[in-house]
Amino acid sequence: MKLNRKWLHEEFVDLSHVSDKEFVETMTVAGQKVETYERMDAEIKNVVVGKVVSIVRHENSDHMWVCQVDVGQEEPVQIVTGAQNVKQGDLVPAALHNSYLPGGIHITKGKLRGEKSNGMLCSFAELGLTQNDLPDAYADGIWILNDEDCKPGDDINLVIGNDDTIVDFEITNNRPDCYSIIGLAREAAAAFDKPMRHHEPVVKGSDVGSMYEMLDVEVPAENLCNRYSSRMVKNVKIAPSPKWLRQRLRANGVRPINNIVDITNYVMLEYGQPMHAFDYRYVGSGKIVVREATEGETLTTLDGNVRQLKPGMLVIADENKPIGLAGIMGGENSEILDDTTTVVFESANFNGTSIRQTALALGMRTESSGKFEKNLDPMMTVPAVQRACELVELLQCGDVMDGIIDIINYVPSPKTLELEPEKINRLLGTEISEADMVSYLNRLEIPVEGRTIHVPSFRPDLNLMADIAEEVGRLYGYNEIPTTAFKNATQGGYSPEMIMENKAGQLCRSLGFSEIITYSFVSPAIFDQIRLPADSVLRNAMRIQNPLGEDTSIMRTIAVPSMLDILARNNAYHNKSVKLYELAKIYLPTEGQVLPEEPKMLVLGTYGEGTDFFTLKGQLEAIFTGLRVKKATYSAVSDNPTYHPGRCAVVSIDGVELGYLGQIHPLVAQNYGMDVDVYCAEINFTKLFDLRLPDVTYTPLPKYPSVSRDLSLICDEAVTVAQIEDVITAAAGKLLRSVKLFDIYRGKGVAEGKKSMAFSLELRADDRTLTDADSEGVITKVLTALSEKLNATLR
Amino acid sequence: MKEQLELIKQNALAALEAAADTAALDEQRVKWLGKKGELTAVLKMMGKLSAEERPVMGQLANSVRAEIEAKLEQRKAELSACALEAKLAAESIDVTIPGKAVELGHQHPMNQVLQQVKDIFVGLGYTVVDGPEVELADYNFTRLNIEEGHPSRDRSDTFYFNDEDSVLLRTQTSSMQIRFMENNKPPLCMLAPGRVFRKDEADATHSPMFHQIEGLVVDEHITMGDLKGALITIMRAIYGEDAQMRFRPHHFPFTEPSCEMDMQCHKCHGTGEVDGNVCPTCHGEGWIELLGAGMVHPDVLRNCGIDPEKYSGFAFGMGLERMAMGRLKINDLRLIFDNNIKFLEQF
């Protein structure tokens, strides 16, 4: 909401002695935050009123003139102009040497076809004005100032009315009253503790008859229209508004049109009450009906667009057809024209949500709808229409008829609250006296009688003690409230799962993986990109009904695609070797639950130098060790189409499947535009958390030495390391402390279809030194079992 | 004999001094002290001396032997030191050759900032909690006093999953206020960081997904002075002890009174100008908005089964991206979610 300070000083509260900076800071700290402010004369510099002393043809041009211009200095200055409407004796805007015009245009002296020109004579457009601002001025030449109250040398900004500051406030949703000059004036008066001048509109009236004989208003849409107030004006003479009114509109960004339309806009700015004026000629049968639109109805709005209406949208209609879109924009079929003679003023209060939804549905948010959607004060309709009629009389643009139609469906009942100074002080942590509280409320025009607060109708936001505390607090000054330290009675800290997440991140980073953050929503196309089977349950994702786009339309049920996306992007950036991790949620719809399960996934992804399956597996194992979870097992899977069929393992702990580890299938990599080997691991971290080992206690260090025995075995190619380890572990008994693979060999000396694998076994007893017989016994059992179960023999 | 011994001593010491390596030294040892050495040869003649002369010469011979042996040890030590020196000299390396690379990963800059903030709060006794991102409208809006029809509930602002608009992507971590109050009894002291979602196209300052940090304190006798004290302490821990703060009124449906907290611009020190131009950091305002806060609205307490006559509290919420971008001078929000390794490795 914009406010020009001159309007404030001239009509409501004189703060002209307060600097812009102080005004802005005080208003902000008192509760009306200023977003920006700007001097209106900031753009025009060194442009003055000049009087054309003489004007002669340019010797070398058939269209230019050489003028001697009195600019209030000792000597006239010479300025060349190409305009044809300047005469000797005219007052004109003269941009002097080293002057600035709107848009950053810099004017300096120079020569035009050999003649010196010490500046430029200006049109009004060059000064940022329009024909609407200056209805009587000549557009195609220099702006002639003969009728303005000015003399040579005057700053042109004063003539234009630019000696003003525009302050733009961020108005919060709870303060619809501040979407008006009066509302902001009230806040300014309170903030600076100055009295505010009030003006009650007075309509003199005339003898042109009563509106009741001409107009009938019905409001069948009771729920959508709280109040509809209306007055009529006869013998209207459409003309431009006076300069003071045009300037106030312009300062607030409203284009002047004509006196009647300008009056409605002026009242909207001043009172915050949007108004509309209908040409009575086009109100069929003299009847206004405020109703919902019917299916298939259309209306051409003032901007020339044909609007398709629907039930639920509120229209202003005559007996037969809509003539306005309630609270948003009038209809072209009833707009004020130059020959309009009888006007119906509408000052209504519509349901805010309905107006907002209609404006949204039709894609036409207007100044008026923007105000209505905040839910305005229904008590404002009558003063506003009175003010409009008063202005009609002031501007002498018509005769106000007798009578006022005022249909009331809802007005709030008067509300009182108890002033509770002790509770307010207890909430704020202050010791403000009751008298001071009353004075703050009075400054805001909130009357208090004893301990009864009479909440004005323009303050629907005041409903309980805390609301009053805020009013007291902000005028006392939030920054004056003493700061205190409460005694925190809670221990606080991280949950065990968060501690483990933190640890996982540290481990990943110590292994060279960098962290990424990716969107929770993804494209449904990812499922095909990772070759997920058509019947996979993971395709059952939460679908956003109103996504930004297809690419962000479903909640991910799997985290690997986001990783692949980022790896692919890094590959496209020519980053040669990349190791990344993400620890974030997936969203799994769950039978019988409204909300999905949101487990956290740890995803590792890597490509480039030094990456292969076993490097990544080793890193994953290191992370598991660091996280102190139980021992993981890895079994080959060839049916996960996202991964290389021969290089993928399902990772489990205690029979709980945690996820996959492997090389991404080349076709999947290709789908992401990558022609490099890509490796990923995806681990359900939420499940992993439940599989952590119990807290550690000390195990005594071994007292007796261990015996190490190496076995070099020959077995079929199909036999896995895990199989051999399992057989050894089962056969060796409790003396076996560890079994480790240390070599795999194929080739010379090993038959085709066979391979050699070498394992190192560590044997130890807690209570004695092992004898050769002990270890021989174990090895014999192991070799027998290997031979029987896996057909593996000593090499 | 005396002269003979003196001569041996002189010659032996000179020869030992001249020995250039341990082999030459050993040769000299044999020559002078060995079984067939010169000193031994002289001693063999001791028998021919008179009884008076014998002890005198014996003493002299022993001292000559001791001197030669001492010299021998000294030369041995000198020569081995020399040899070691030579060996070490031969082993010298170029220490400016780079170390063997140990690759370390980088925490995402946003999470670096988040971690610091969380640690500060944990130190002050806040419990860090996590909650659902797909959320019920009841928690995200209704019980926070945001009624049906409120603009923030529009489909142009919020992502929905069903026709009734009852399941959504949370638009604010404030939903965690309700969840925490519902499941815990005062005194409460909570910090809830997390992802939030709003229907904004991604650009330099907007993202459809971003992060907030929500805080909540509820106990008996909590005041707005406590809110100020807590937030000033925390923000100074984050932004430095000399950071200047101000509070100004604002509006949130779930707090009353409500406020926003600003920090004086560190670039222009509140003047709004740098070298005669509008300050690029605060755009001339002199202040930078840090967070929104307020005293928990009595209706919100009631909605969670907490008696507002007995308890009061404060809540606050801040945007993590804005904080991280400000501190790390990141000028485009899209970099955060781009995850270019060259970007991540900077932090």
DSSP B47-92: GGS-TTHHHHHHHHHHHHHHHHHHHHHHHHHHHHHHHHHHHHHHT-
pLDDT in tens, A185-220: 999 999 999 999 999 999 999 999 999 999 999 999
List the one residue out of B293, B236, B234, B257 whose CA is nearest residue A30: B257
Spell out where B185-332 has E strands: 188-197, 209-219, 245-252, 255-264, 273-274, 277-278, 287-296, 312-319
**Is residue A600 pLDDT above 80, yes or no?**
yes
Domain-located, residue A487: no
Q: Which residues contact A197 (CB under 8 A, 6 or more apart)?
A: A11, A12, A13
Residue range A631-658: average pLDDT?
95
Q: Does A373 touch chain B (CB under 8 A)?
A: yes
A30 in contact with B, Cβ within 8 Å: yes
Where does residue A752 rank: exposed (0-12), middle (13-18), buried (19+ CB within 10 A)?
exposed
Q: Of B38, B63, B90, which residue sits at a domain end?
A: B90
Distances (CA, A) of A341 to A236, A260, A399, A522, B19: 4, 11, 10, 61, 133
Q: Is residue A186 part of a domain?
A: yes
Contact flag A495-B161 (C-beta cutoff 8 Å): no
Q: Which residue of B has its CA nearest to A424?
A: B223
Question: Which whole number is the average pLDDT over B16-38?
Answer: 87
Residues A270, A368, single domain; the answer is yes
User: Do A642 and A516 share a domain, yes or no?
Assistant: yes
Are residues A73 and A33 part of one domain?
A: no
The answer to whether position B97 is within a domain reads no
Residue for token pair 């031994």: B40
Q: In terms of domains, do B74 and B163 share one? A: no
Domain termination site, one of B47, B63, B90 = B90
Which residues are within 8 A (CB) of A647 and not within 5 positions of it... i.e. 6 or more apart?
A613, A662, A663
Between A292 and A491, where is the model more confident? A292
- At residue B219, the 3 state secondary structure works out as strand
CATH number, domain containing residue A757 = 3.30.70.380
Q: How confident is the model at residue A140 (pLDDT cuts 50, 70, 90)?
A: confident
When pLDDT is averaged across residues A757-785 and rounded to a whole number, the result is 94
User: For residue A723, is it within any domain?
Assistant: yes
Residues A256 and A304 in one domain: yes
pLDDT one-digit tens code per residue, A299-358: 999 999 999 999 999 999 999 999 999 999 999 999 999 999 999 999 999 999 999 999
Closest CB from A488, A505, A518 relative to B124: A488
Q: Judge whether B103 lies within some domain.
A: no
Considering the domain architecture, whether residues B136 and B255 belong to the same structural domain is answered as yes
Would residue B8 count as lying in a domain?
A: yes
Of B59, B90, B121, the position where a domain reaches its end is B90
Residue A315, in any domain of the structure: yes
A699, two tokens: 């195990």
**Distance from A57 to chain B by nearest Cα, in Å?**
44
Exposed e or buried b per residue across A607-628, where buried means at least 16 C-beta atoms within 10 angstroms of its C-beta? bbeebebeebbebbbebbeebe
pLDDT value of position A757: 94
Residue A320 resides in a domain: yes
Say whether A490 and B187 touch across the interface (CB within 8 A). yes
pLDDT at residue A287 in the model:
95
pLDDT of B144-193, one tens digit each? 999 988 889 999 999 999 999 999 999 999 999 999 999 999 999 999 99
Residue labelled with tokens 């195609």: A140
Q: Nearest-CA distance from B142 to chain A in Å?
A: 16
CB-CB under 8 Å, B149 with A353: yes
**What's the rounded mean pLDDT across residues A266-291?**
95
Task: Tell how far CA A414 is from the center of its chain.
Answer: 36
Q: Which two tokens stand for residue A4?
A: 């020009």
Contact A400, A389 (CB under 8 A): yes
> In this structure, are A636 and A780 located in the same domain?
no
Q: Judge if B45 and B160 occupy the same domain.
A: no
- CATH code, domain carrying A526: 3.30.930.10
Q: Is the pLDDT of residue B207 over 80?
A: yes
Asked if residue B193 and residue B122 are part of one domain, the reply reads yes
Please tell me which of the candidates A483, A492, A596 has its beta carbon nearest to residue B189.
A492
Cβ distance B162 to A479 less than 8 Å, yes or no, reads no
Confidence of residue B6 (pLDDT cuts 50, 70, 90): confident
Residues of A in contact with B134 (CB under 8 A): 542, 555, 587, 595-596, 598
> Once rounded to an integer, what is the mean pLDDT over residues B279-291?
88
Q: A794 vs chain B: nearest CA distance in angstroms?
A: 40
Determine, for residues A492 and B121 on separate chains, whether the beta-carbon distance falls below 8 Å.
yes
User: pLDDT confidence of A132, banded at 50, 70, 90?
Assistant: confident
Residue A546: per-residue pLDDT: 97
Residue ranges of E strands in A58-198:
65-70, 77-81, 91-101, 105-107, 110-112, 115-117, 119-121, 165-170
Is residue B1 pLDDT above 80, yes or no?
A: no
pLDDT band, very low/low/confident/very high, at A11 (cuts 50, 70, 90): very high
Cβ neighbors of B88 (< 8 A, separation 6 or more) are: none
CATH of the domain at A174: 3.30.56.10
Q: How many residues are given for chain B?
A: 347
Both A172 and A285 in one domain: the answer is no
Q: Based on the domain organization, do B157 and B83 belong to the same domain?
A: no
Q: Is some CB atom of chain B closer than 8 A to the CB atom of A478?
A: yes
Q: Could you tell me if B272 and B215 lie in one domain? A: yes
Residue A499 contacts B where some CB pair is shorter than 8 Å = no
**Residue from B136, B161, B245, B268 whose CB has the most chain A CBs within 10 Å, to mutate:** B161
Q: What is the pLDDT of residues A569-594, one digit of tens each?
A: 999 999 999 999 999 999 999 999 99
Give the Å distances, CA to CA, from B203 to A547, A566, B340: 17, 18, 17
**Which residue did the predictor score with more confidence, A705 or B43?**
A705
Q: Assess whether A240 and A361 both reside in one domain.
A: yes
Helix (H) or strand (E) holding B336: helix B334-338
pLDDT at B36: 85
Domain count, chain A: 6
In-domain check, residue A488: no
Answer whether residue A200 is part of any domain. Answer: no
Q: Which residues of A fall within a CB distance of 8 Å from B169?
A: 520-521, 544
Q: What is the pLDDT of residue A79?
A: 94
Residue B290 located in a structural domain: yes
Contacts of A100 (CB under 8 A, 6+ apart): A43, A44, A45, A46, A47, A106, A107
- Rounded Cα–Cα distance for residues B220 and A763 (Å): 64
Tell me the C-alpha distance between A665 and A640, whole Å.
9
Residues A432 and A543 in one domain: no
Q: A689-693 — which CB contacts under 8 Å span 24+ positions?
A: A689/A496, A689/A497, A689/A500, A690/A656, A691/A629, A691/A630, A691/A653, A691/A654, A691/A656, A691/A658, A692/A500, A692/A627, A692/A628, A692/A629, A692/A630, A693/A628, A693/A629, A693/A630
Residue B98 lies inside a defined structural domain of this protein: no
Of the candidates A469, A505, A512, the beta carbon closest to that of B107 is on A505
CA B112 to CA B106: how far, in whole Å?
9
**Is B82 found in the same domain as B41?**
yes
Residue type, B8: I
Are B25 and B166 found together in one domain?
no
**Residue A359, both tokens:** 């404006």
**Which chain B residues are Cβ-neighbours of A39 within 8 angstroms?**
none
* Residue from B152, B248, B258 whose CB has the most chain A CBs within 10 Å, to mutate: B248
Side chain identity at A204, as an amino acid letter? K
Regarding whether A282 and A142 lie in a shared domain, the answer is: no
List chain A residues with CB under 8 Å of B128.
Answer: 492-495, 498
Residues in chain B within 8 Å Cβ distance of A548: 199, 201, 208
What pLDDT shows up at residue A138? 83
Q: How far apart are the CA of A211 and the nearest CA of chain B, in angstroms?
A: 37
Cα atoms found within 13 Å of the Cα of residue A794, Cβ hemisphere only: 9
Query: Which amino acid belongs to residue B339?
Result: N
Mean pLDDT on A223-233: 97
pLDDT interval class at B320 (50, 70, 90): very high
| Domain identity same for A607 and A738 | no
Task: Give the long-range contacts of residues B5-11, CB within 8 A, separation 24 or more.
Answer: B5/B42, B5/B57, B5/B60, B5/B61, B5/B64, B6/B64, B8/B32, B8/B38, B8/B39, B8/B42, B8/B64, B9/B64, B9/B67, B9/B68, B11/B38
Does some domain include residue A89?
yes
pLDDT at B191: 97
> Per residue in A356-403, pLDDT tens?
999 999 999 999 999 999 999 999 999 999 999 999 999 999 999 999
Cα–Cα separations (whole angstroms), residue A98 to A65, A101, A142, A511, B272: 21, 10, 20, 65, 27
For residues B144 and B278, membership in a common domain is answered with: yes
Per the omega criterion (within 30 degrees of 0), is the bond before B257 cis?
yes
Whether residues B120 and B75 fall in one domain: no
What does the alpha-carbon distance between residue A419 and residue A598 come to, in Å, rounded to a whole number? Answer: 48
Q: What is the pTM of this model?
A: 0.86
Is A292 in contact with A273 (CB distance < 8 Å)?
A: no
Return the pLDDT at A38. 92
Of A485, A494, A570, the CB nearest to B128: A494
- pLDDT confidence of residue A773: 93
Both A640 and A525 in one domain: the answer is yes
8-state DSSP, A700: P
Does A542 contact chain B (CB < 8 Å)? yes
Mapped onto helix, strand or coil, the DSSP state of residue B119 is helix
Please say if the pLDDT value at position B43 is more than 90. Answer: no
* Structural domain range at position A49: 45-160
Q: In chain A, count of helices (H) and strands (E)? A: 20, 39
In a domain, B234, yes or no: yes
Q: Are B233 and A485 inside 8 Å of each other by CB?
A: yes
Which chain B residues have a beta carbon less than 8 Å from that of A575? 340-342
| Residue that is last in its domain, among A433, A453, A480 | A480
Residue of A470, A506, A567, A686 to mutate when probing chain B, most B C-beta within 10 A: A470
CATH code (residue B177): 3.30.930.10
Query: For residue A659, is pLDDT > 90?
Result: yes
Does residue B104 sit within a domain? no
Average pLDDT, chain A: 94
State the total domains in chain B: 2
User: A61-65, A256-260, A527-531: which range is least confident on average?
Assistant: A61-65
Residues B31 and B172 grouped into a single domain: no
Distance from CA of B74 to the nearest CA of A (A): 46
Residues in chain A: 795
Q: Is residue B96 part of a domain?
A: no
CATH number at residue A155: 2.40.50.140
Binary contact (A490, B127; C-beta < 8 A): yes
pLDDT for res B48: 83
- Collect all residues of chain B within an 8 Å Cβ-Cβ radius of residue A580: 339, 341
Residue range B4-21: mean pLDDT, rounded? 88
Clarify whether residues A527 and A582 are in a common domain. Answer: yes
CA distance B93 to chain A (A): 28
Model confidence at A721: pLDDT above 90: yes
Of B197, B297, B345, which is closest to A514 when you measure between CB atoms? Answer: B345
How many cross-chain Cβ pairs, A to B, lie less than 8 Å apart? Answer: 241
Let me know whether B157 and B250 are in one domain: yes
Give the structural domain span for B241: 109-344
